[in-house]
Amino acid sequence: MNILKKGVADSLQDAGRYGFQSIGIPPCGYMDYLSAQLANLILGNPIQQTVFELHFPASSISFDEDVCICITGANFVPVVNEKSIEHYTPIFIKAKEQLKFIQPIHGKICYIAIKGKLNAPAWLNSQSYFSERIQTGDTFSIEKNNAPLPFINGEWLDTINKHIFHPSPIRFIPGPAWNDLEETSIQALLKNSFSTSIKSNRMGYKIQGDPLSLKGAPNYLSSAVTKGTMQLLPNGEIIVLMADHQTIGGYANIGQIILVDLPKLAQMKNDIQFHWAVVSVELAQQSYLEIQNEFHQYDKNH
Amino acid sequence: MIQKQPLDAWKIKTLGDHALQFSLPALMDSTIAAQIKDLNHFMVSQQLPFIKDLIPAYHTLTLIYDIEILERPLSFAQTILKEFLEVTNDHKIHTSNANNSNAGEDKNIIRIPVCYDISLGIDLELLSIEKNSSPQEIIQIHTNQIYQVYCIGFLPGFAYMGKVDSSIQSPRHATPRPLVMAGSVGIAGEQTGIYPMNSPGGWKIIGRTPRPIFNKEVAPYASFKMGDQVQFYSISIEEFTKQNEYENEHT
């Protein structure tokens, strides 16, 4: 497959690059792991295989051979040779056909999985791009697989999509600096609505809403941050750290968004209002595992 | 040899739903850093299958774990911390040697050449005015100190080192520069560090090293790790040009 025209920030992503944060290398990986896993699952691929992650305006792609693909996540109105195609279902594309994306309808990040395996260089055990982006003229070869296409329960698929694209609430677990927040800021955070800023990217999402403040002016010694960490900047804004986040941070760490809700934030356009909610570690893990176990069940059954 | 802190000096916190943080009092202190390093070493040696990442920094060790494997994170954390504190004296001796924490033992100091020419140390004149010292005095003070690496972060391979002598400490620029060149050596408060690659940055830049400190292709990738001791030495602009390994990489 060939990139005819590059998108604004497209990359290849897998489940991430772990084991090197101690030397400052970010984990990277899918911004919306649920949509990425769905794309692979629908094609009968291992669920954490490498996929294309597209932001709008997205890349235009042509294919040298017949392939089977699946598009999930944001709806950018994908068309093949000018005819629109469906999401969340295997799509057969013939050699020489072209795939384009016309306009962003909902969501921010779209995934394309290819049935089989993408040949792309790996670095430190992962094919996730870090600072690089897909360029015009890039080509990728595919090792096709003949695994049967699994039957996916449509209701289950809808439930996951409703979860991803239903903005409220974004659930988080209070962080080390939670008790340093002014009481009025805690009230504002828990009661008022917020939105994502256009100043958001794979490193972090800026949040718009009531500015928050800390009691006094505490100074924090830098320590590790992680996916979903909510940092409070000195100007009262929250920035949520996403997949390409730096590994150490010195701002107030007021909470971490739970893993299962990160796809919701990742997909949220800046005209959508959302609320925050506090959740326990146990419930957060349970919510994550429930969905993940169903993925594994499909993986095992076919 | 370093005395381990007692169990009650340590705090364990969950960090969201997939991380744990072990912490000692929040101080930039070499004995605290040495114990964080020891705990990190101990955890790595356990080869636990649910550990995805271990990130030491100043007074904390953060563990990123796989939710699908580790079931009771807090009780695991308490148990492993106890085991760490109970390990035998043999282990203590072993790790504290690796620490090079003994004063006067300088064979493990990593020496880094830095050219402090004002064409590269673009904030040196500013700092000299701010501190009412000559650039020579600042260079002398910066190169005299042996720094400890307290953590790696911000950029791949970027080492936070301390402590900078109080006479040349200076805060970050209020607005970061859009581009700091790879190899630049900077000061931010009591910390000093080297930019491994071109990047935006707010540290006061006093010089540049010709030596790459991050290599994407070759293990261990980063030149520094937590606990390393580093000393800078001054080189001329001619030596810098001769030794500069960054220029070849420019595209």
B136 to chain A, closest Cα gap in Å: 31
Residues of B with CB under 8 A from a CB of A: 13-19, 21, 23, 26-28, 40, 52-60, 62, 64, 67-68, 73, 151-158, 160, 216, 220-222, 225-226
Answer yes or no: do A221 and B27 touch at CB < 8 A: yes
Rounded (10°) CA dihedral A195, A198, A202, A203: -80
A vs B, Cβ pairs < 8 A, gives: 127
Which of A22, A257, A288 lies nearest to residue B56, judging by beta carbons?
A: A22
At residue B247 the predicted structure's pLDDT band, cuts being 50, 70 and 90, is: low
* Of A155-164, B106-115, B158-167, the least confident: B106-115
Fill in the amino acid letter for A11: S
Q: What is the pLDDT of residue B104?
A: 43
Domains of chain A as residue ranges with CATH: 2-165 (no CATH), 170-294 (2.40.100.10)
| Pair of tokens at residue A253 | 């760490």
A176 to chain B, closest Cα gap in Å: 8
Q: What is the pLDDT of residue B98?
A: 46
In B, minimum Cα distance to A256 occurs at B16
Statement: residue B212 has pLDDT above 50: yes
Statement: residue B95 has pLDDT above 80: no
CATH of domain B109-249: 2.40.100.10
Domain boundaries defined on chain B: 7-98, 109-249
Mutation target to probe the A interface, by most A beta carbons within 10 A, among B17, B51, B53 is B17
Q: What is the pLDDT of residue A205?
A: 97
Q: What is the pLDDT of residue B96?
A: 47
Q: What is the pLDDT of residue B102?
A: 44
Q: Which residues in chain B touch residue A253, judged by CB atoms under 8 angstroms apart?
A: 15
Q: Which sign does the torsion angle of CA A289, A290, A295, A297 carry?
A: positive
Alpha helices of chain B — where are they, by DSSP H? 30-46, 73-86, 89-98, 124-131, 135-144, 237-243
| Pair of tokens at residue A63 | 């294919």
Mean pLDDT computed over B82-110 = 61
Q: Which residues in chain A touch residue B158, judged by CB atoms under 8 angstroms apart?
A: 24
Q: What is the pLDDT of residue B93?
A: 45
Q: Which residues in chain B touch residue A175, judged by CB atoms under 8 angstroms apart?
A: 15-16
Which of A247, A256, A257 lies nearest to residue B153, judging by beta carbons?
A: A247
CA atoms within 13 A on the CB side of A23: 19
Q: Which residue has the higher pLDDT, A146 or B70?
A: B70
Q: What is the pLDDT of residue B110?
A: 97
Beta-bridge partners for A11: A53
Q: Is A173 on the interface with B (CB under 8 A)?
A: yes
Q: Which residue has the higher pLDDT, A82 or B96?
A: A82
In B, minimum Cα distance to A122 occurs at B217
Q: What is the pLDDT of residue B176?
A: 85
Q: Which residues in chain A touch residue B29, judged by CB atoms under 8 angstroms apart?
A: none
* Of A168-172, A265-269, B85-89, B199-203, the least confident: B85-89
Q: What is the pLDDT of residue B91?
A: 52
Q: Is the ipTM of this complex over 0.90?
A: yes
Q: Which CATH architecture has domain B7-98?
A: 2-Layer Sandwich (3.30)
Answer yes or no: do A221 and B55 touch at CB < 8 A: no
Radius of gyration of chain A (CA): 20
* Of A131-135, B84-88, B165-169, the least confident: B84-88
Which of B13, B58, B68 lies nearest to residue A176, judging by beta carbons?
A: B13
In B, minimum Cα distance to A172 occurs at B16
Mean pLDDT computed over B27-35 = 93
Fill in the amino acid letter for A194: F
Answer yes or no: do A226 and B19 touch at CB < 8 A: yes
Q: What is the pLDDT of residue A95?
A: 95
Statement: residue B2 has pLDDT above 90: no
- Predicted structure pTM score: 0.92
pLDDT tens sequence for chain A (302 residues): 999 999 999 999 999 999 999 999 999 999 999 999 999 999 999 999 999 999 999 999 999 999 999 999 999 999 999 999 999 999 999 999 999 999 999 999 999 999 999 999 999 999 999 989 999 999 999 999 988 999 999 999 999 999 999 988 999 999 999 999 999 999 999 999 999 999 999 999 999 999 999 998 888 999 999 999 999 998 999 999 999 999 999 899 999 999 999 999 999 999 999 999 999 999 999 999 999 999 999 877 66
Which of B17, B40, B153 lies nearest to residue A258, judging by beta carbons?
A: B17
In B, minimum Cα distance to A247 occurs at B153
Q: What is the pLDDT of residue A119?
A: 94
- Supply the DSSP string of B208-246, one letter for each residue: E-SS--B-SSSTT-BS--TT-EEEEEEE-HHHHHHH--S
Q: What angle (nearest 5°) sits at the alpha carbon of residue B154, between those of residues B207 and B26?
A: 100
